[in-house]
Amino acid sequence: MEKNSKDWLIHYKGNEVLAERFDDQINAHLRTQRTILTPFLDETQQEVLKRVAGNRVSLSFWGGYEGAERKRALISEYEDDFDLVQLKAKLHGFEKISHSDCMGALYNLGCRNDHFGDILVQEDAVVVFVCRSIASFVMQNCTKIRRSSVAFIESDEPVIRDVQLKKISKILSSTQLDALVSACTHLSRDKAQQLIRSKNVKVNHVCLDETSFLCHNDSILSIRGYGRFIYKGVVKETKNGKKVVEIQAYK
């Protein structure tokens, strides 16, 4: 990046501060070769970091298990320690515990959002990934979620996240973003355009407001209030020139 120019930030609309911070970290690494380990990043932050980094540095991500959404990033040529811990607590009783309940319990302890990663609520247990620096604190102090008593311990049990997808076929006149959002939400294209312009739509974890944007195959569409979808691509064209597309919806 040009040191004395910030023109490049135009490509990170809405994420300029984040992009500039990542660029500073990358430049510091290039000057000193010092390893940089970020806190937990959400998917949008990860995408911005990937774009800013390009091929300038060795960049890797890990969230504790395959398919993790929130991950730490490591900028290093040699290190591979992401310094995170998997904590697990058994659930007892009949009270229904939600992801929000678990997150609220951590916030109430004063834990910062970027110090913990994915929270997985299973039938009989809660699994949370945290920075090693707060692992002992969480184990000692997070003893209750809602009215349920819990005791977190370190765990190395393999975590497998079961992602269920529903296949949807749609016939569209266009594969522009507004048409795809319309197909996913069952809204008119005008209302789909309003969603996009109101910054309620992300493509591959980056917020877009360009209604005519053309998505690549396997693009992930996140639509606030409607869920997450994968645009698989055009399956075939009809005789009158319309396109049959495949979309997969996260259940």
Which of 226, 227, 193 has the alpha carbon at shortest distance from 212?
Answer: 193
CB 216 within 8 A of CB 250: no
What's the domain count of the chain? Answer: 3
- Residue 164, SS3 per DSSP: coil
Specify if 138 maps to a domain: yes
Mean pLDDT across the chain? 92
Task: Find the CATH number of the domain harbouring 240.
Answer: 3.10.290.10
Find the distance separating the first CA and the last CA of the chain, reported in whole Å.
Answer: 41
Structural domain ending residue among the three candidates 125, 154, 183: 154
Exposed/middle/buried for residue 64 (C-beta within 10 Å: 0-12, 13-18, 19+) = buried
Q: What is the pTM of this model?
A: 0.80
Q: How high is the pLDDT of residue 124?
A: 87
Distance CA 137, CA 110 (A): 10
Alpha carbon of 208 to those of 98, 190, 191, 214: distances in Å? 30, 16, 15, 11
Residue keyed to tokens 């493509």 = 203
Provide the pLDDT for residue 96: 85
Residues 197 and 246 in one domain: yes
From the list 82, 62, 79, 80, the residue with the least C-alpha distance to 71 is: 62
Q: What share of the chain is helix, strand, coil (3-state, %, to 5)?
A: 30, 30, 40
Short-list 26, 137, 22, 139, CA closest to 89: 139
Q: Where are the alpha helices (DSSP H) in the chain?
A: 16-32, 43-53, 99-108, 132-141, 177-185, 189-197
Dihedral class, residue 127 (left if φ above 0, else alpha if ψ from -120 to 50, else beta): beta
CA-derived radius of gyration, the chain: 21
- CATH number of the domain that residue 134 is part of: 3.30.70.330
Domain range for 180: 165-250
> 189 with 245, same domain?
yes
Q: Which residues of the chain have pLDDT under 50?
A: 1-3
Cα 21 from Cα 174, distance rounded (Å) = 38
Residues 6 or more apart whose Cβ sits within 8 Å of residue 122: 91
pLDDT at 213: 94
| Domain end (from 75, 97, 124) | 75
CATH number for the domain harbouring residue 53: 3.30.1370.160
State the pLDDT at residue 4: 52
Residue-wise pLDDT for 163-176, tens only, equals 789 999 999 999 99
H-type helices in 72-146, by residue range? 99-108, 132-141
